[in-house]
Amino acid sequence: MMMPARSLGDYLREWRQRRRMSQLEFALEAEISQRHLSFIESGRALPSREMLMHLAERLEVPLRDRNPMLLAAGFAPVFPERSLDDPALAPARRAIDIVLKGHEPFPALAIDRHWTLVAANAALAPLLSGVADVTLMKPPVNVLRLSLHPDGLAPHILNLAEWRTHLLERLRQQIAATGDPVLTELQKELIAYTSPAPQRSPGQNRDYAGIAVPLELMTNAGRLSFISTTTVFGTPVDVTLSELAIESFFPADQSTAGALRAMMSATE
């Protein structure tokens, strides 16, 4: 049995409610009348394509979900979705490779919307040598699963409880923003893993002014401590690019920086 096609009003209402906004609140945010918004949601009025794009922008609807809204309103999709190997995205792929390579000898990786590994620099591999279940590193590699699985990196993360909480909170926020069912299933899987007791690593006292949660990892080179940043494309017009993120790890202390430089030199 085929499901009835969803209307534009259905999409707008769903995203408005996901953002926890009343009709009045959203109307004020979008600078239109509540009556006009009500008419659009009920199907009594059809917005122009420009108005629809404006509403989607104010609701922070992901590009992937704007195309169905356009189709529901009778407009052609605006945002293409192409493989990262598509020739049209070659400049973007080169940019990603330059960023990853330029971050060496420190580890960095690119992931898609489902935390699947897209690319990584040479500094990452030595940190994964302790992974017991090598199948976790066979493509497609899910970075969250690799990090938190009991046979993955988890046994080597000195502040596992803290790092696990940090990653699960990031995932929760992503699910709240996108409503992605694949991420919801991934969240259930990760939560089901054995939860470590709260702990503090044996490392030195840390003070990052609340702006970072460190990753403290035991490796063949000893204890390494990292802080990380996330980089996204600023104004993407392609669905694939809008969902890519680069995770860059920086040494949190001088001993980690020295160890990473030594590890990179040993592989050259």
Q: What is the pTM of this model?
A: 0.86
Domain ranges of the chain: 8-72, 87-267
User: Does 1 score more than 60 pLDDT?
Assistant: no
User: Does 246 score more than 50 pLDDT?
Assistant: yes
Among 95, 70, 47, which residue's Cα sits nearest to residue 246? 95
- Looking at residue 34, what DSSP letter applies? H
Q: In percent, how much of the chain has pLDDT > 70?
A: 92
Query: Is the CA virtual torsion 172, 97, 240, 242 positive or negative?
Result: positive
**CB-based contacts of 128: which residues, under 8 Å, 6+ apart?**
137, 146, 153
Query: CATH number of the domain at 87-267, please?
Result: 3.30.450.180
> Using one digit for the tens of pLDDT, what is the confidence trace for 40-76?
999 999 999 999 999 999 999 999 999 999 999 999 9
Among 198, 202, 236, 194, which residue's Cα sits nearest to residue 218? 202
CA distances from 211 to 103, 198, 208, 217, 228 (A): 21, 20, 6, 19, 10
pLDDT at residue 2, rounded to an integer: 45
The span from the CA of 249 to the CA of 147, in Å, is: 14
User: Does 16 score more than 90 pLDDT?
Assistant: yes
Long-range residue pairs from 9-13, CB within 8 A, at least 24 positions apart, any chain: 9/40, 9/41, 9/42, 9/43, 10/72, 11/65, 11/68, 11/69, 11/72, 12/37, 12/40, 12/41, 12/55, 12/59, 12/69, 13/41
> Using one digit for the tens of pLDDT, what is the confidence trace for 163-220?
999 999 999 999 999 999 999 999 999 999 986 655 554 545 555 545 678 999 999 8
- Segment 78-92 shows an average pLDDT of 91
Which CATH architecture fits 8-72? Orthogonal Bundle (1.10)
